């Protein structure tokens, strides 16, 4: 093992020498023919992935000199130098550390043997770890006087009667709370607003059968992991209560029953003029320097256009509005959609005695909850290293490697789940397996859905206990149900539209105006140039506007980088 560490250190020494000598030839010799460099504010203050030897070499040379990147060394306490198989490639991987003009940095390098005596880099990830503080900024907590107790101080801090927050975080789910926690750790004064009655209601108010479908170890929040006594798959009410407690324990300033009505950017003052709707039907105008949109990648509901649905005499709701199945016992329900919510709701309705028909609108990826769906997370969150090391591993893979790794995992899941897929196919269910067979994680990162981790509903479909029709067979909705093209009628007392959600850019024009919406463009989904998610956790084309969202692990990992960038901008104007 020491020999591997020495091999990695030898490569790092040569890498630093090539950068210091501005020798593109020397640097080229240290890279494979198909290298990838993912930079998260490490060597250079940007968030992007670059692929190709010439492109990586040129970008590293420019960025390393500007960032004064130096003192590269292994960091075996995080990830030791080790042999690994990644996307069918035998590599040596190891965590690294170095310094830049921004502060202490970290990363992961993966080296291939070059066929002679040394190694060449296949992938390199570099990230800021702890920045050099350039301004003395104190939080309201540090300015407390001795005439009030803790409770009284917290009431003053939350009230914002004599000050504006530096950052307004719109959305009090796990994404917004993670962002606020990381901002607070950097003494950035952040106010979180949420339209619900209580923190956690975005989970608490959803359908009763909802659980997380990935295991608890990947879903911890920053600085306060779930207790070891928590179940493997956390139910939604437990998540809701945890989020509410988390906001209190971490001393976050949260206003519930409060929403952002509109915001305009004041270029001269470099701040937002934001109008908030408050619980007493009044409004308040605040002037934060930054706004973080944390309204989830599954924000406002999409309601599919279904001919004649206005004529339906029964109850229609979106899946986000559906609460429980007990009232529909012995009645007929039709669920439009075949994603996770559609399956969960259909299964719960059937369990409570309803007659259920699912209408499939597009092919859907199905994997069994155990073990198939969990194989993807096991690349990063299998038992072993501390969470920080596993998060470092998670963030170290550039998109091209992610696709190769997930293609291999998907091939394995298809093999494991072949009997189920055969039964679903026989029942008329249309299957697909992601872009180029890369599975559900990239579907989540591109469209936010289109898959289901089978927790029992697929068997109900295969057995015919839940009936299935294709959307192409639907003619229109009538007073008493769904008329098919063959003239048969599916009786219905309930229609559930499990037809997905709009992404965050859907609300941009309403809140910020058409000019800002056009300037920012798409949010979520991969950008072809940066190979990263569009406008997530990084500067957007609109000054002072940021976005966060995604899974628990994504928010835990990347909220820190979001906060570091905002802190740096605030410090630069201090």
DSSP 444: H
Give the whole-angstrom CA distance, residue 504 versus residue 525. 11
- Could you tell me if 289 and 167 are in contact, meaning their C-beta atoms sit under 8 angstroms apart? yes
Per-residue pLDDT, 377: 84
- Could you tell me if 269 and 287 are in contact, meaning their C-beta atoms sit under 8 angstroms apart? yes
CB atoms within 10 A of CB 167: 25
Give the whole-angstrom CA distance, residue 401 versus residue 404. 5
Burial 482-496 (b: 16+ CB within 10 A, else e): bbbeeeeebebbbbb
- Could you tell me if 513 and 528 are in contact, meaning their C-beta atoms sit under 8 angstroms apart? no
Q: What is the pLDDT of residues 122-139, one digit of tens each?
A: 999 999 998 875 445 555
Show Cβ contacts of residue 493 under 8 Å, excluding neighbours closer than 6 positions: 314, 315, 328, 331, 332, 333
Residue 55: band (very low, low, confident or very high) from pLDDT cuts 50, 70, 90: very high
Per-residue pLDDT, 304: 85
Per DSSP (E only), the strands in 224-270 are 253-256, 259-266
How large is the average pLDDT for residues 69-83? 96
Q: What is the CATH number of domain 152-299+504-572?
A: 3.50.50.60
Same fold for the pair 152-299+504-572 and 309-497: yes
Which one, of 479, 401, 498, lies nearest residue 441 by Cα? 401
**Domain 2-131 adopts which CATH fold?**
Nuclear Transport Factor 2; Chain: A, (3.10.450)
Give the whole-angstrom CA distance, residue 191 versus residue 176. 10
Question: Is the per-residue pLDDT at 297 higher than 80?
Answer: no
Owner of token pair 């940066």: 530
Q: Where exactly are the structural domains of the chain?
A: 2-131, 152-299+504-572, 309-497
Per-residue pLDDT, 115: 73
DSSP 302: P
Q: What is the pLDDT of residues 390-420, one digit of tens each?
A: 999 999 999 999 999 999 999 999 999 999 9
Residue 299: band (very low, low, confident or very high) from pLDDT cuts 50, 70, 90: low
Task: Express as a percent the part of the chain with pLDDT over 90.
Answer: 86
Residue 557: band (very low, low, confident or very high) from pLDDT cuts 50, 70, 90: very high
Total residues found in the chain within this entry: 574
Owner of token pair 């109850």: 315
The SS3 of residue 348 is helix
The SS3 of residue 109 is strand
How large is the average pLDDT for residues 41-64? 96
Q: Please give the mean pLDDT across all residues of the chain.
A: 93
- 474-478 and 481-484 as β-strands: parallel, antiparallel, unpaired? antiparallel
**Domain 309-497 adopts which CATH fold?**
FAD/NAD(P)-binding domain (3.50.50)
Q: What is the pLDDT of residues 479-516, one digit of tens each?
A: 999 999 999 999 999 999 999 888 888 889 999 999 99
How large is the average pLDDT for residues 220-244? 96
Burial of 386 (0-12, 13-18, 19+ CB in 10 A): exposed
Give the whole-angstrom CA distance, residue 111 versus residue 547. 34
- Could you tell me if 290 and 566 are in contact, meaning their C-beta atoms sit under 8 angstroms apart? yes
Question: Is the per-residue pLDDT at 239 higher than 80?
Answer: yes
Question: Is the per-residue pLDDT at 384 higher than 80?
Answer: no
Residue 170: band (very low, low, confident or very high) from pLDDT cuts 50, 70, 90: very high
Q: Which tokens hold the place of 26?
A: 């020397």
Per-residue pLDDT, 232: 93
Per-residue pLDDT, 131: 81
The SS3 of residue 450 is coil
């Amino acid at each position: 093992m020491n020999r591997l560490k020495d091999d990695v250190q030898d490569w790092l020494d040569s890498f630093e020498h090539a950068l210091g000598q501005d020798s593109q030839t020397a640097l080229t010799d240290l890279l494979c023919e198909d290298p990838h460099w993912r930079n998260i504010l490490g060597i250079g203050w940007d968030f992007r992935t670059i692929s190709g030897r010439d492109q990586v070499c040129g970008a590293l040379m420019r960025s390393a000199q500007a960032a004064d990147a130096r003192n590269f060394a292994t960091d075996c306490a995080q990830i030791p130098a080790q042999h690994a198989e990644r996307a069918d490639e035998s590599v040596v991987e190891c965590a690294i550390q170095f310094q830049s003009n921004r502060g202490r940095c970290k990363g992961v390098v993966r080296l291939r043997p070059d066929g002679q005596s040394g190694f060449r880099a296949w992938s390199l990830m570099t990230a800021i770890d702890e920045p050099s503080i350039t301004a003395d900024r104190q939080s309201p907590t540090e300015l407390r006087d001795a005439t009030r107790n803790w409770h009284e101080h917290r009431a003053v801090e939350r009230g914002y009667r004599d000050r504006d927050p530096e950052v307004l975080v719109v959305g009090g789910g796990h994404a917004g709370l993670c962002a606020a926690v990381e901002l607070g750790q950097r003494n950035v004064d952040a106010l979180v607003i949420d339209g619900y009655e209580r923190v956690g209601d975005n989970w608490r108010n959803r359908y009763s059968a909802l659980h997380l479908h990935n295991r608890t170890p990947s879903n911890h929040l920053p600085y306060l992991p779930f207790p070891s006594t928590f179940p493997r798959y956390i139910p939604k009410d437990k998540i809701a209560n945890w989020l509410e407690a988390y906001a209190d324990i971490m001393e976050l300033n949260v206003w519930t029953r409060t929403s952002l009505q509109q915001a305009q950017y004041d270029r001269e003052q470099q701040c937002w003029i934001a109008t908030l709707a408050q619980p007493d039907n009044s409004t308040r105008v605040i002037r934060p320097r930054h706004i973080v949109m944390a309204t989830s990648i599954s924000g406002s509901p999409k309601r599919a256009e279904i001919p004649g649905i206005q004529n339906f005499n029964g109850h229609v709701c979106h899946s986000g509005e559906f609460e429980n199945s007990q009232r529909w016992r012995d009645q007929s329900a039709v669920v439009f959609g075949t994603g996770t919510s559609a399956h969960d709701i259909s299964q719960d309705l059937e369990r409570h005695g309803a007659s259920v028909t699912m209408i499939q609108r597009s092919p859907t990826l199905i994997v069994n909850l155990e073990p198939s769906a969990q194989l993807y997370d096991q690349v990063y969150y299998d038992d072993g290293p501390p969470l920080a090391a596993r998060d470092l591993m998670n963030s170290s893979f550039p998109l091209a490697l992610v696709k190769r790794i997930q293609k291999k995992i998907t091939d394995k899941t298809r093999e494991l789940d072949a009997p189920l897929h055969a039964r679903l196919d026989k029942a008329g269910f249309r299957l697909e397996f992601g872009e180029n067979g890369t599975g559900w994680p990239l579907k989540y990162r591109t469209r936010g859905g289109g898959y289901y981790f089978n927790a029992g509903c697929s068997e109900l479909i295969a057995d015919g206990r839940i009936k299935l029709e294709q959307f192409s067979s639907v003619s229109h909705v009538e007073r008493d149900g769904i008329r098919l093209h063959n003239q048969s009628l599916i009786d219905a007392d309930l229609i559930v539209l499990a037809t997905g959600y709009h992404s965050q850019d859907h609300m941009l024009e309403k809140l910020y105006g058409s000019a800002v919406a056009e300037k920012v463009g798409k949010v979520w989904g991969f950008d072809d140039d940066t190979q990263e998610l569009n406008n997530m956790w990084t500067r957007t084309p609109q000054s002072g506007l940021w976005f966060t969202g995604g899974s628990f692990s994504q928010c835990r990992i990347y909220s820190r980088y979001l906060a570091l960038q905002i802190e740096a901008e605030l410090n630069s104007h201090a």
